[in-house]
Amino acid sequence: MRPIATTRMAAGIPTGRLAIWWVVASEIVIFGGLLVSYIMHRLAKPEWGDHAANTNVWIGGFNTFVLLTSSLSAVLAHKAAVNGDGPKAAKLLYATCFGACTFVVVKALEWNMEISHGFTISSNTFWSFYYTAAGLHGLHVIAGAIIMLIIAETAKKNLELHRVELIGIYWHFVDIVWIFLFPLLYIAK
Amino acid sequence: MIDQYVVALSTYANDIDNLILLIGVLVGFWLILCELVFFYFIIRFRAKDGRRAEYITGEEKSHKRWISYPHMLVLVCDVFIVFFAIKVWYDVKQQLPEPYETVRIVGQQWAWSFVHPGADHELGTADDIKTVDELHIEVGKVYHFKLESRDVLHSFSVPVFRLKQDAVPGRVITGWFEANGTGTHDIQCAEICGIGHALMPAQIFIESPERHAAWVAEQSPVTLASANQP
Amino acid sequence: MAESIPADAMHAHDDHHHTEQSIWSKYVFSTDHKMIAMQYMFTGMAMALIGGFMAYAFRMQLAFPGIDVPGYGTVTASDYNALVTNHGTIMIFWVAMPVLIAAFGNYLIPLMVGCDDMVFPRLNRLSYQIFLLSAIVLIASFFVPGGGFGGAWTAYPPLSAKSQYSLTALGSSFWLVAVALEFTAFLLGGINFVTTAMNARAPGMKIFDIPIVVWMIVVASILFMSSVGPLIAGAVMLFMDQNVGTAFFDPDKGGDPILWQHLFWFFGHPEVYVVLLPAMGITAEIMCVFARKKMFAYKTFLYTTFATGILSFTVWAHHQFVAGIDPRMANIFTVTTLLISIPIAEMCFIYIATLYGGSIRLTTPMLWALAFVAEFLIGGVTGIFLGASGADIYFHDTYFVLAHFHYTFFPIAIIGTFAGFTYWFPKMFGKMMNDTLGKIHFWGTIIPFNFIFIPLFVLGAAGQHRRIYNYEHFPELAGVEMQDMRVLATVSMLVMLVFQLVFFYNCFISWKKKQKDAGKNPWKANTLEWTTDSPPPHGNWPELPTVYRGPYEYSVPGREEDYFPQNVPD
Q: Indicate the residue of B16, B45, B191 with minimum beta-carbon distance to C391.
A: B16
Query: Looking at residues B58-86, what average pLDDT do you find?
Result: 91
Residue B230 has pLDDT above 70, yes or no: no
| Cβ–Cβ below 8 Å for C251 and B168 | yes
Residues facing residue B155 across a β-bridge: B166
**Confidence category of residue B221, pLDDT binned at 50, 70, 90:** low
| pLDDT tens digits, B95-153 | 999 999 999 999 999 899 999 998 888 888 888 899 999 999 999 999 999 999 999 99
How many secondary structure helices (H) and strands (E) does chain C include?
19, 2
Residue B184 has phi, psi (to 5 degrees) of: -120, 125
Q: What is the pLDDT of residue C7?
A: 40
Q: Which residues in chain C show pLDDT less than 50?
A: 1-18
At residue B146, the 3 state secondary structure works out as strand
| Cβ–Cβ below 8 Å for C355 and B94 | no
Size of interface B-C (CB pairs under 8 A): 297
Can you say whether the dihedral through the CA atoms of A30, A36, A37, A39 is positive or negative?
Answer: positive
Tell me the residue type at C247.
A
CB of B102 closer than 8 Å to CB of B81: no
Query: What is the side-by-side strand order in the sheet with B111-116?
Result: B129-132, B111-116, B101-108, B142-149, B173-178
Residues of chain C with C-beta less than 8 angstroms from the C-beta of A126: 254
CA distance B167 to B189: 10
Best residue in C84, C288, C465 for a mutation probing chain B (most B CBs within 10 Å) = C465
Residues of chain B with C-beta less than 8 angstroms from the C-beta of C342: 71, 74-75, 78
Q: Indicate the residue of C370, C474, C556 with minimum beta-carbon distance to B42.
A: C370
| Cβ–Cβ below 8 Å for A36 and C110 | no
DSSP state letters, C63-128: HSTT-EETTTEE--HHHHHHHHHHHHHIIIIIIIIIIIIIIHHHHHHHHHHT-SS-S-HHHHHHHH
| pLDDT tens digits, C219-228 | 999 999 999 9
| B118: alpha, beta or left? (left if phi > 0; alpha if psi -120 to 50) | left
CA distance C382 to C456: 13
Tell me the residue type at C436.
T
Q: What is the pLDDT of residue A4?
A: 87
- Is residue C557 assigned to a domain? no
Tell me the residue type at A189.
K
- Is residue C15 assigned to a domain? no
CB of C437 closer than 8 Å to CB of C478: no
- Is residue C541 assigned to a domain? no
| Cβ–Cβ below 8 Å for C10 and A45 | no
DSSP structure class, residue A145? H
| Cβ–Cβ below 8 Å for A30 and C200 | no
CA distance C536 to C114: 12
Q: What is the pLDDT of residue C517?
A: 84
* Domain coverage including residue C85: 30-531
CA distance C192 to C200: 10
Residues of chain C with C-beta less than 8 angstroms from the C-beta of A19: 120, 191, 195
| pLDDT tens digits, C437-453 | 999 999 999 999 999 99
Residue A7 has pLDDT above 90, yes or no: no
Assessment of whether the complete model's pTM goes beyond 0.90 = yes
CATH code of the domain covering residue C392 = 1.20.210.10
Q: Indicate the residue of B1, B42, B152 with minimum beta-carbon distance to C158.
A: B152
Q: Indicate the residue of A5, A45, A132 with minimum beta-carbon distance to C115.
A: A5
| Cβ–Cβ below 8 Å for C357 and B56 | yes
Query: Looking at residues A96-115, what average pLDDT do you find?
Result: 94
Q: In terms of DSSP bridges, do strands B173-178 and B183-189 run parallel, antiparallel, or are they unpaired?
A: unpaired
A187/B160: higher pLDDT: B160
- Is residue C146 assigned to a domain? yes
Query: Looking at residues B19-39, what average pLDDT do you find?
Result: 95
Q: Give alpha helix (H) positions in C462-541.
A: 480-509
Residue of B nearest to C467 (CA): B192
* B204 at interface of C, judged by CB pairs closer than 8 A: no
Best residue in A42, A126, A128, A140 for a mutation probing chain C (most C CBs within 10 Å) = A128
Q: What is the pLDDT of residue B222?
A: 56
In chain B, which among 20-59 make CB contacts under 8 A with chain C? 20, 23-24, 26-28, 30-31, 34-35, 37-39, 41-42, 45-48, 51-59
- Is residue C8 assigned to a domain? no
Q: Render the burial of A114-135: b for 16+ CB within 10 Å, e for the rest.
A: beeeebbbbbbbbbbbbbbbbe
Residue B104 has phi, psi (to 5 degrees) of: -105, 130
DSSP structure class, residue C414? I
Residue of A nearest to C255 (CA): A125
CA distance B226 to B220: 11
The pLDDT > 70 percentage for chain B reads 96
- Is residue C71 assigned to a domain? yes
* B81 at interface of C, judged by CB pairs closer than 8 A: yes
| Cβ–Cβ below 8 Å for C116 and A125 | no
Number of structural domains, chain C?
1
| Cβ–Cβ below 8 Å for C384 and B54 | no
Query: What is the signed CA dihedral for C368, C372, C375, C377, rounded to 10 degrees?
Result: -150
Residues of chain C with C-beta less than 8 angstroms from the C-beta of A13: 198-199
Q: Indicate the residue of C357, C359, C476 with minimum beta-carbon distance to B159.
A: C476
| pLDDT tens digits, A34-70 | 999 999 998 988 888 888 888 889 999 999 999 999 9
Give chains near C: 3+ CB pairs under 8 A: A, B
**Do chains C and A have 3 or more beta-carbon pairs under 8 angstroms?**
yes
Best residue in C287, C340, C474, C523 for a mutation probing chain B (most B CBs within 10 Å) = C474
At residue C156, the 3 state secondary structure works out as coil
CB atoms within 10 A of CB C387: 26
Query: Which residue ranges form the domains of chain A, and what is each CATH number?
Result: 14-40+49-187 (1.20.120.80)
Q: In terms of DSSP bridges, do strands B202-207 and B134-138 run parallel, antiparallel, or are they unpaired?
A: parallel
Residues of chain A with C-beta less than 8 angstroms from the C-beta of C7: 4, 7-8
- Is residue C6 assigned to a domain? no
Q: What is the pLDDT of residue B124?
A: 85
CB within 8 Å of C460: residues ≥ 6 apart:
C395, C398, C399, C400, C401, C402, C403
CB within 8 Å of A109: residues ≥ 6 apart:
A59
> Of the candidates A134, B103, B108, A16, which has an alpha carbon nearest to the alpha carbon of residue C199?
A16
| Cβ–Cβ below 8 Å for A162 and C231 | no
CA distance C113 to B4: 55
Residue A3 has pLDDT above 60, yes or no: yes
